Chains A and B, each alone.
Chain A
Amino acid sequence: MEGRQLRPIYDALELPDTKYAEEECEKLLRKHPNHYGAQSIKAFILARSGRPNEALLLGQSVLNTPSAMASAHVQQGLSLAFRALGRPREEIMVYTAALSFSPNDESLHIKVFKTAARNSMFKEQHHAAIQLSKLSKQQKYVWWLVVSLFLQAKHSKDDVAAPVQLKLAERLVEKAVADGQLTSTEELRVYLDVLDIQDKHEQMTEVMADNSQLAAMISNDPDLVTQRINLFIKVGDYDKAIMAATAALESRDNWADYKLYIEAVATLVGQAVDAEAKHSLVAGISSNFEKWAGVRGKARGAKLAQVALATRMHEAGHGDIAGSPEALIWDYLTEFQQKAICYSDIMQFIVARREPSVLEYHQAQLEQRLPAARDSATNSDDAAQAWVNLEKIRYLLQALMGETDPKAWVADIEPLLKFGLGSSQARKKQPSCSDMAFIASQRIIQAAFLAYSAADQREQLHSALFKALCVLESGIQLNDNSFLLKLYAIRVYLYLSCYERAQTIYDTLRIKHVQLDTLGHLIIGHGMALGCFALDMELCYNGVTFYDRFQSKMPRDIEAVYQQGTYSNVQDFLEFQSNIVHSIQRECTHRYALRGEGFEYGNAKETLARWEEADVSSIEHSEQTLSALHDNRDVSVMGLLTPKDMAQWDLELLTQSTPIPGHDFIRAFSLVPQVMHYLVCADIESLQEKLSELTLVVDNSSCRLSRQDVLFVRGIIDVGSLYIQASDPQNEIDGQLSRLLSVIRTNLPSNELDPSLFSLSSDGIRNLSAATELFTYMLALKHALLAQRLPAANAVGLALSQLRKEALKSVNTLRGWVDKNTRALVEEQWLAENDDDIFADAKRFVVGSQKQTTSMVTKACTTSWLRSVKNLLSQWEKCSS
């Protein structure tokens, strides 16, 4: 009967038509107000319709009615409701209540287990697993219990309970082994994890011994083979580690195994008493490497291992006992320099020893080989790649030797440009040509930052970066697949305040799904800084959608792991889930989305409603939650040719137009909506509290907000303070109001002076954008004062109206100026002939042989600036007070 009554609601939900389903619910509840089935489904519908508070209240009231919980319909409706609300505790309470009626219902216990597992509720998971293993003899529940015990112990702060749980887990597994119930490598990995967390490494070696009953499983699993070698090292059995590594490397070529082999030998060498013993150990490993170096498919790994061994011996103070690392590096290069991977292989070993004598040795070797490599580059792909690798080494050596003369960085750049962009191979899209174009662009960028590092030289810096941009774009035009060229093009365009073209290039990278978390930082937020809010908002929404979908879908993958018995994935999936759900980029993307919404124009009613209804509690962060965030952002994609510890040569760092947002950004832009919310709600006490917190953020000497974000945030603090002042009609507000308006005025384009190309490409658009954004918030202040019938509303309204008129005039003038003048100015200032120009060769090349691209880049810059200014003008036009 209950099912029949609920059928229309289920049918509506299947359509899916949530609104109709709710209507059917209401219809049924009008007839039967105490129909708990309808109430529970209504709770689910409310949750899905974005009315969480109502849903929660209704759901909890049904949950607190014990007699209601006997119904399967109520159980289903409520569990779905609480799952949609993200309330796993309540969801488990639904199943627990249901179990009071059917204590032996295995499916209910499984539901409890899976809910707990999805939500990392390890204690509840553990209890559910115990119930399941008592109810059913299925072996999988034993493993569920083992994994639950392991996770509970691992994440527990209880030093007393954790060891007991692990011991129990260990006993359960030992019983499974004895009963022949450990049948998969997944289960074996769980066993090893349980032992590992207890530091029972000796026992692990017994489990993984050659003669153990699980040996066959181990030898078939390459990861377990490597783990075994590592284990021997951990327990100090280096001889066994060496034997295991040797055996593994006879049949495969894994770098992880080479590293462990070298580590074991290095430790024994360190422990050896006399020179003979040391030499004998080294001779043994070296002879193996030489043997493997002669085997097809293993030569590269073995040769590189020789370099690694020699370097390691040097680091440990054993000199050239395994050969001269430098000589071996060049032996390796001689044999493999035609491989694209060569540079990334060998770089760390060159970097490992930076003594002048060593660098000079490398320099001498390079100078011997480079001319011939350059001359023969056109002979074949391999020859070209060899030259590319040598050029990368040349770049690295210059940095390691601390070369600060910018001319030295761009000397001999012409052959690189000619080959990378002007050769027949380049026209055939040969990958080494893209690499060469990349190296050339890096040299120009590096030289630019070295030459023009002073504040009064930024104009020349921009001119030099423009030339780098021409090289990058030329490379992209020739080969659209070059990821690195595009990344740096995006960076340099943003540095020159050209958002539109940067975003167009970003689109071609096809960054999507989880890459939004690792690479989204390249572009998200930059649009807002440069007046292109709408484009940026779209990217933000894509990001927010990804994160929301991930949060809802990932738990099912965790369930699947238990269902499939792939237990070693549990930790991995939980960690992955945590990394994405609690990622810095996620928080930043949300903050940017909120910021963009705050900037959207609305009339007074819409604006006030937006701030009043803003969910400010969910965006609050404590120091604890901030420090628990994961930074998954990947800056290594920028493909640095120098080590990350050399800041002066770190082009990833140097080309950042604004600091990559972090904790300060999250703090500040969590507080800004809260300030506005309390302002609009006239909650002065809370407003003062938030203003104090916001002041602390920007006043902190290590604050890593951009200049414009600091300007904006200080402006918001002033807006809040002005409101507090104005909330008492007795107070005088003129002074404060003038100061606030003056901040905005200062950052508007000047009506008197012609803007300069430099002001446009540096802070001009950014400052204007911040000022425009601040004005929008001041409008919200005015609307709030008016709504609250405070007398200051008139004065503020008049002042804003006047300011708006001025802004419209000056921004419109700027728009006209950008439209008419910037193209000619770029050609005049950034591409004109100048004998003193360090970048004369590069300029001559791009102007001479890359005319079309140079013209395209000029147009891209001017169009981007124009787009930004037009967007901002449009914003001012919309913002009538």
Chain B
Amino acid sequence: MITIRQAEARDAVGMQACNLTNLPENYQLKYYLYHLATWPELSFVAITNNRVVGYVLGKMNDDDPETPLDGHITSLSVLRSYRRLGLAERLMTQAQRAMAEVFGAQRVSLHVRVSNVAAFSLYKNTLKFDIKDTEK
């Protein structure tokens, strides 16, 4: 019984738990709040029984005023017990749609570790991302 909704400040605890449990790239609380304060429309959580079981943290790359706005997925994570339910795909779709509809984004980028086979497959095969570059 999963609900996906826009992330709120109170979700930061659960998002951080998801992040710390699943990913080596960890962020401080202020980074989550910075995303929520600046682009609240682009971060979503998957909730069941009042627990955050997955989240996506999105932002817009608005550093260069000359170039069109691009979206960027900062972080995506789903707890192990809630995988294979299509949650990651739903979270990503939600965030991408918001980037396009709210900010008029034409493109969205993200980073994924080559070794993360499941995530790589999600982005490449399911969500049809193109590989732009491989960082060493």
Q: Which one, B6, B29, B30, B102, contacts A223 given CB within 8 A? A: B6
Q: Which one, A255, A576, A632, contacts B9 given CB within 8 A? A: A576
- Interface pick from B12-20, B69-77, B113-121, B128-136: B12-20
Nearest chain A CB to B4 CB, angstrom units: 6
Contact A300 B85 (CB under 8 A): yes
Name the A residues within 8 Å of B41 (CB-CB).
185, 221
| A431/B40 contact (C-beta < 8 A), A223-B5, A515-B16, A554-B33 known | no
- CA of A340 to CA of B80, assembled, Å: 9
Nearest chain B CB to A152 CB, angstrom units: 21
B interface majority secondary structure: helix
A31 interface residue (CB < 8 Å to B): no
B125 interface residue (CB < 8 Å to A): no
Name the B residues within 8 Å of A573 (CB-CB).
9, 33, 36-37
A728 interface residue (CB < 8 Å to B): no
Closest residue of chain B to A219 (Cβ to Cβ) is: B101
| A341/B48 contact (C-beta < 8 A), A513-B16, A554-B33, A576-B12 known | yes
In residues 51-82 of chain B, which contact A (Cβ within 8 Å)? Answer: 51, 80-82
A345 interface residue (CB < 8 Å to B): yes
| A304/B1 contact (C-beta < 8 A), A339-B84, A483-B21 known | yes
- Interface pick from A78-86, A135-143, A556-564, A711-719: A556-564
Residues 558-584 of chain A: 1 if any B CB is under 8 Å from the residue's CB, otherwise 0? 001100101011001101100100000
In residues 91-136 of chain B, which contact A (Cβ within 8 Å)? Answer: 94, 97-98, 101-102
Name the A residues within 8 Å of B6 (CB-CB).
221-223
Closest residue of chain B to A632 (Cβ to Cβ) is: B13
Contact B33 A566 (CB under 8 A): no
A interface majority secondary structure: helix
Contact B34 A255 (CB under 8 A): no
Contact B40 A566 (CB under 8 A): yes
Contact A301 B80 (CB under 8 A): no
Name the A residues within 8 Å of B12 (CB-CB).
514, 576
Q: Give the residue among B21, B26, B40, B51 with the most A Cβ atoms within 10 A.
A: B40
Q: Give the residue among B38, B81, B90 with the most A Cβ atoms within 10 A.
A: B81
Nearest chain B CB to A143 CB, angstrom units: 15
Contact B80 A255 (CB under 8 A): no
Q: Give the residue among A226, A431, A572 with the most B Cβ atoms within 10 A.
A: A572
Q: Give the residue among A226, A254, A339, A560 with the most B Cβ atoms within 10 A.
A: A254
Name the A residues within 8 Å of B85 (CB-CB).
300, 339, 341
Q: Which one, B5, B8, B102, contacts A226 given CB within 8 A? A: B5
Contact A222 B94 (CB under 8 A): yes
Contact B10 A564 (CB under 8 A): no
Contact B20 A510 (CB under 8 A): yes
In residues 447-499 of chain A, which contact B (Cβ within 8 Å)? Answer: 481, 483
A186 interface residue (CB < 8 Å to B): yes
- CA of A857 to CA of B22, assembled, Å: 27
Contact A256 B3 (CB under 8 A): yes
Name the A residues within 8 Å of B5 (CB-CB).
222-223, 226, 254, 256
* Count of CB-CB pairs between chains A and B under 8 Å: 119
- CA of A226 to CA of B26, assembled, Å: 32
Task: Please give the number of chain A residues whose Cβ is less than 8 angstroms from any Cβ of chain B in the complex.
Answer: 53
A220 interface residue (CB < 8 Å to B): yes
- CA of A340 to CA of B78, assembled, Å: 13
A636 interface residue (CB < 8 Å to B): yes
Nearest chain B CB to A544 CB, angstrom units: 15
Contact A572 B10 (CB under 8 A): yes
- CA of A726 to CA of B50, assembled, Å: 57
Contact B37 A340 (CB under 8 A): no
Name the B residues within 8 Å of A560 (CB-CB).
34, 37-38
Name the A residues within 8 Å of B34 (CB-CB).
557, 560
Name the B residues within 8 Å of A301 (CB-CB).
1-2
- CA of A560 to CA of B31, assembled, Å: 12
- CA of A564 to CA of B39, assembled, Å: 8
Name the A residues within 8 Å of B39 (CB-CB).
566
Name the B residues within 8 Å of A345 (CB-CB).
1, 48
Contact B81 A341 (CB under 8 A): yes
- CA of A575 to CA of B33, assembled, Å: 13
Name the B residues within 8 Å of A446 (CB-CB).
none
Contact B17 A515 (CB under 8 A): yes
A4 interface residue (CB < 8 Å to B): no
In residues 234-255 of chain A, which contact B (Cβ within 8 Å)? Answer: 253-255
Which positions in A face B, CB cutoff 8 Å? Answer: 184-186, 220-223, 226, 253-256, 258, 297, 300-301, 304, 308, 339-341, 344-345, 348, 431, 481, 483, 510-515, 517-518, 550, 553-554, 557, 560-561, 564, 566, 568-569, 572-573, 575-576, 579, 632, 634, 636
- Please name 14 further chain A to chain B contacts, defined as beta carbons within 8 Å, in addition to the given A253-B2, A254-B2, sorted by A numbering: A223-B6, A254-B3, A255-B2, A256-B3, A258-B1, A301-B1, A304-B1, A341-B85, A511-B20, A515-B16, A518-B13, A560-B34, A569-B8, A573-B36
14 A-B pairs (CB sep. < 8 Å): A185-B41, A253-B2, A254-B3, A254-B5, A255-B2, A255-B3, A255-B48, A256-B5, A339-B85, A511-B20, A514-B16, A515-B13, A575-B9, A576-B8
Which positions in B face A, CB cutoff 8 Å? Answer: 1-6, 8-10, 12-13, 16-17, 20-21, 26, 28-30, 33-34, 36-41, 48-51, 80-86, 90, 94, 97-98, 101-102
- The 7 tightest CB contacts between A and B, nearest first, are A576-B9, A340-B81, A255-B1, A560-B37, A256-B3, A557-B33, A572-B9
